[in-house]
Every structure is written in structure tokens, then in C-alpha cells.
Amino acid sequence: MRALDAGILVCGECHRLEYLCEGEVQHCSRCGSRLHMRRPNSIARTWALLITAAVLYIPANLLPIMTINFFGNGAPATIMGGVLELIHADMLPIAFVVFVASILVPTFKLVGIALLLYSVQRHQPMSARQRILMYRFIEWIGRWSMLDIFVIAILVALVNFGNIASIQAAPGAIAFCCVVVLTMLAAVMFDPRLIWDNTDAENEEDGRAELQSNKAQD
Amino acid sequence: MIQESGQPVDTRQALPPLKDLIACHECDLLMHHPHVGEEQKASCPRCGYELVVHRAQMHRRALALVLTALLLFIPANFLPIMSLNLLGQNAVDTVWSGVVGLYHSNMGIVAVVVFLCSMLIPLVKLLCQLLVLLSLPFPRWRPMGTQLYRAYHHLREWGMLEVYLFGILVSIVKLIDLADLHLGIGMACFIALMLAQVWLEVTMSPHQVWDALSEEEDNHART
């Protein structure tokens, strides 16, 4: 049975249990944080962050993220360009890591969070276990997309020889940085308990609960 | 380490008192509080989320690790991680010079994000952990410890030392054929800092800290 069905709230910060008092604003008796049945407006806020990230995803991939100036020849490099360059230099394992961290992961996160939101809203028959695994994976992997930003920071500091050779960061880096931060925030906003609130297995197990995710959300 | 799983509450029976219950933070399943022994952990039977871990000597070990990490912080961020030699010219990279370099490329926002994720947030996290550990033996300080531990949980995933380390590796691979590359002492300090921080995160198990912070009401910490 869910804690909520027993009239118990879980503190979002310190996980202490408190009895629910209907119609009152409650605070945790241990850490003082405001108690909610589920994170407030979780679905709407996650959608908002996700859509903003999706819009910025376009310039992040199309604009150059850095300009490489080598003996007077300036060449802008996009994210994909950097990966291709590593492939041409026969550094396949590193090319693969950069490809996964900066192209595959952000794409997967955008699609994955959208799927989670859609399945929670539409009661899609995707198993809760699959969805929670996907959620944990998205939450865990989010920070690794910052890899490319850190590489730019290191290269900018290190390759700094005036006219001989220099690397400068370019506008695509700002968009990419925003995509990473926004998708991480979206994962934080999403309440994983919504995944379990509308599963059919739960209904069979627990005959008395009428589990409507929209009711549980507020 | 012995793994147990929590016992879900039976709907047909009366509920035990709240202090004997625990709810899964990720799926809201209500369970009897599993009383685990030292170096044991319990997880949610439905979604597999780790409910409680009990680490032996948590306070002493965590304190030692947090002090180690804080001592390493300045050398890791301000000593040269690597230097590059090109046609007689030398350039040195530290974590801080990366931030400054980005700022001078007119990338203020990106410089701020890199500064936060690789320097400021890891430092604030360590200071929060230190103060929480120091406040545990003194009931009067515990309210401050509670607020700092809350802040720590919000900052947790925004400190990205391990990602930065991987960034250093990728940069080394990219530059190694281009010019003369030397690794500096800052690199060793950075790796040590990252290891100390990861170890600290494993040692300082949240439920033990929360229980210790609320000990004055319960008189004894739950295991």
C-alpha cells in the first residue's frame, strides 16, 4: 500500500513520515520543509523545462561550440564536428565517449523524459519497473553531458599561444550548456512516485485505492 | 554487505506507530522499518530503491574524509593540471584558469556554470558535510546542521568532479599528438580530491545522519 493511502506524507527532504491533515499547510517536524503529497505541479513544470531544452537543442547542435585557430587558419567546430575529427584521428574509444556524452545522452534525456511524462499522463501500459529504471538512468547520466563543456574550458586555457594557435569558445557552447542544465532540472522536477501512482498492478493489489494520478498530484 | 528488503505493510491490519514505518522515497510504498545491523542495507521490494544503509564508524570516517578532501581542495584547483609546450611557448592549465579562459572568450554564462560545477558547489558541499558532522555531538547546533544537510542534498548532483576528470582525459587525448604535454601535480591532487569525495558520499549514509540529527527527540539512533 502507498503511504498516501494510509494518510501518511513523506518529507521530500529528510524522508520523515507525518500524518496527513486535510486542508492544512504542513511542515516536516524534523527539518521544517513544506510537505506535499507529490511535488507540486510536477508534470507542468517538467514539461516547461523540457520544451525550453528542446528548443535550445537546435542551436546547440547547429552552431559551433568552439573556434580552433591554428597558424592563422580559423575553423569553427560543432559538437558533431569534434566527434568526426576524433574518428579521423583514429581515436575511436574517445570519439565514442564524446559521442555518447554530448549527442546520445542529451537526445535520450529529451526523448526519455517526454516519454515518462506522456506515459504518466496517458496511463500508457509501459511497466512501472521499466519506467523507474529509465528515470534513474536519466537522473544519473544527466551530469555527464557537461563533459564537452569542461573539455572546452580546458582547451581554451591550454591552447592559448596568440597567433600560432588558440581555441576560443563559440555561441553553441552557451546553448549546449543551457540544454544540459535544463534537462537536469527537468529530471529534478519530475516526481518518480507518479510513475507508480497509476499502475494497474497496484490497483489489483490494493482493491480499495482509486488511483487517479491527477488527484494525487495536488 | 548483507542486503535485506523492507516488509510491506499489510492493508488489513492496524497500522503500527509512525516511528516503526518507512516509506520508499521513490515509489511511496509503505513498509515496516527494517532494523539493519552494521554494514547492512535494506531496499524497497517494489522498485529496488535503497532505503537505509548502516555504515560502521560513520562519524569518524566521514570526518577524516571530509578533512582530507578540504585539504586537497586548494592544490587541486589552483596547481597546474597539465602544461602544453608549443614552439618554445608554454601554457599551463588549472581548473581556475579554465574558468578565466572561458570568461575572456566572452562566455560569461558558461564560465559561471563551469565555476559552479567544478569548484564552488563541490566546496560548498564539503563545507556543509563538515559542519553537519561537527554539529552532530552538540544538540544546540543540530538545527543548523539540519538546514545545512538539506542544502547539501539539493546541491548533490551539481558537483561534477568526476565528469571534470573525464574532461581532462579527453583533452589529453585530443592534444597529445599536437604538442608537448606534461601532467602537473594538480592532476594528482584533483584525482585524490575526487576519490575522497566519492568515498565520503558512500560513507555518510543519509538516514544515519538524519537519525543522528533528530536524536534528541528519540533519545537513541535507529539502526
Please give the pLDDT value at position B217.
53
End-to-end CA distance of chain A: 19
Do residues B116 and B158 touch, judged by C-beta distance below 8 A?
A: yes
Same-domain pairing of B62 and B50: no
pLDDT band at B149 (very low <50, low <70, confident <90, very high): very high
Quick: pLDDT tens for A125-179.
Answer: 667 788 888 888 998 888 888 998 999 999 988 888 877 888 888 889 999 999 9
Please give the pLDDT value at position A107.
92
Same-domain pairing of B145 and B69: yes
Residue found under cell 515518462: A116
Q: Is residue A179 part of a domain?
A: yes
Please give the pLDDT value at position B36.
81
Q: Is residue A209 part of a domain?
A: no
Type of residue at A131: R
Same-domain pairing of B31 and B96: no
Nearest 5°: CA angle at B196, between B130 and B112? 75
Residues of chain A in contact with residue B215, where contact means CB-CB under 8 angstroms, are none
CB A153 to CB B29 under 8 A?
A: no
Quick: pLDDT tens for B156-214.
Answer: 889 999 999 999 998 888 888 777 888 989 999 999 999 999 999 999 988 889 888 88
* Contacts for B70 with CB less than 8 Å, ≥ 6 apart: B126, B127, B130
Same-domain pairing of A98 and A48: yes
d(CA A190, nearest CA chain B) in Å: 11
Same-domain pairing of A29 and A55: no
pLDDT band at A198 (very low <50, low <70, confident <90, very high): low
Q: What is the arithmetic mean of pLDDT over B82-91?
A: 84
Residues of chain A in contact with residue B106, where contact means CB-CB under 8 angstroms, are 169
CB B114 to CB A150 under 8 A?
A: yes
* Contacts for B147 with CB less than 8 Å, ≥ 6 apart: A31, A32
Number of separate domains in chain A: 2
Please give the pLDDT value at position B1.
59
pLDDT at residue B70 is higher than 90: yes
For the record, the C-alpha cell of A146 comes out as 557537461
Domain CATH code at residue A126: 1.20.140
Q: Choose from B20, B47, B135, B187 for mutation: most chain A CBs within 10 A.
A: B47
Q: Which residue has the higher pLDDT, A202 or A48?
A: A48
Same-domain pairing of A84 and A45: yes
Same-domain pairing of B40 and B115: no
Lay out the sheet containing A66-70: strands in order across.
A73-77, A66-70, A165-169
Q: What is the arithmetic mean of pLDDT over B88-112?
A: 89
d(CA B161, nearest CA chain A) in Å: 10
Quick: pLDDT tens for A133-145.
Answer: 888 899 888 888 8
Q: Is residue A144 part of a domain?
A: yes
* B216 CB-side CA count, 13 A: 13
Nearest 5°: CA angle at B173, between B171 and B175? 70
Residue in chain A closest to B118 (alpha carbons) equals A150
Same-domain pairing of A65 and A11: no
Q: Which domain holds residue B139?
A: 58-206
Same-domain pairing of B113 and B149: yes
Q: Is residue B45 part of a domain?
A: yes
CB A10 to CB B163 under 8 A?
A: no
Please give the pLDDT value at position A207.
38
Q: Is residue B212 part of a domain?
A: no
Q: DSSP for chain A?
A: -BTGGGTEEE-TTT--EEE--TTS--B-TTT-PBP-SS-TTHHHHHHHHHHHHHHHHHHHHHS-SEEEEETTEEEEE-HHHHHHHHHHTT-HHHHHHHHIIIIIHHHHHHHHHHHHHHHHHHT----HHHHHHHHHHHHHHGGGGGHHHHHHHHHHHHSB-TTSEEEEE-THHHHHHHHHHHHHHHHHHS-THHHHHT-HHHHHH-TT----HHHHH-
CB B86 to CB A139 under 8 A?
A: no
ipTM confidence: 0.86
Type of residue at B61: R
Do residues B118 and B223 touch, judged by C-beta distance below 8 A?
A: no
Q: What is the arithmetic mean of pLDDT over B70-79?
A: 94
Q: Is B76 exposed, middle or buried (0-12, 13-18, 19+ CB in 10 A)?
A: buried
Residue in chain B closest to A144 (alpha carbons) equals B163
Q: What is the arithmetic mean of pLDDT over A48-66?
A: 93
Same-domain pairing of A29 and A46: no
Same-domain pairing of A47 and A153: yes
- Please name the member of A30, A97, A168 whose beta carbon is closest to the beta carbon of B214: A30
* Report for A209-213, B41-45, B75-79: range of highest mean pLDDT: B75-79
Please give the pLDDT value at position A69.
82
CB A8 to CB B27 under 8 A?
A: no
* pLDDT > 70: percent of chain A: 89
Do residues A143 and B160 touch, judged by C-beta distance below 8 A?
A: yes
pLDDT band at B44 (very low <50, low <70, confident <90, very high): confident
Same-domain pairing of B86 and B35: no
Q: Which domain holds residue A96?
A: 41-195
Residues of chain A in contact with residue B118, where contact means CB-CB under 8 angstroms, are 150, 153
Q: For chain B, how big is the Rg over CA atoms in Å? A: 22
Rounded to the nearest 10 degrees, the angle between the axes of helix A128-141 and helix A172-189 is 140
Q: What is the arithmetic mean of pLDDT over A181-193?
A: 90
Q: Is residue A213 part of a domain?
A: no
Q: Choose from B162, B174, B190 for mutation: most chain A CBs within 10 A.
A: B174
Same-domain pairing of A58 and A163: yes
Please tell me the pTM assigned to this model.
Answer: 0.86
Same-domain pairing of B151 and B179: yes
CB B46 to CB A157 under 8 A?
A: no
Same-domain pairing of A45 and A30: no
Please give the pLDDT value at position A210.
40
Q: Is residue B213 part of a domain?
A: no
Same-domain pairing of A47 and A126: yes
Same-domain pairing of B193 and B83: yes
CB A158 to CB B91 under 8 A?
A: yes
d(CA B25, nearest CA chain A) in Å: 7
Same-domain pairing of B49 and B72: no
pLDDT band at A25 (very low <50, low <70, confident <90, very high): confident
Number of separate domains in chain B: 2
pLDDT at residue B121 is higher than 80: yes
CB A158 to CB B171 under 8 A?
A: yes
* pLDDT > 70: percent of chain B: 94
pLDDT band at A184 (very low <50, low <70, confident <90, very high): very high
Same-domain pairing of B75 and B115: yes
Same-domain pairing of A75 and A179: yes
Please give the pLDDT value at position A38.
84
d(CA B71, nearest CA chain A) in Å: 23
With CA atoms as reference, report the closest residue to B78 among B128, B123, B119. B119
Q: What is the arithmetic mean of pLDDT over A76-80?
A: 86
Q: Is residue B221 part of a domain?
A: no
**Of A4-8, A189-193, A204-208, B65-69, which range is least confident?**
A204-208
Do residues B81 and B168 touch, judged by C-beta distance below 8 A?
A: yes
CB A18 to CB B89 under 8 A?
A: no
Same-domain pairing of B20 and B44: yes
pLDDT at residue A209 is higher than 60: no
CB A150 to CB B94 under 8 A?
A: no
Q: Is residue A163 part of a domain?
A: yes
- Please name the member of A153, A181, A193 whose beta carbon is closest to the beta carbon of B98: A153
Q: Which residue has the higher pLDDT, A51 or B176?
A: A51
Residue in chain B closest to A162 (alpha carbons) equals B89
Type of residue at B31: M
Same-domain pairing of B44 and B106: no
d(CA B154, nearest CA chain A) in Å: 9
Same-domain pairing of A13 and A75: no
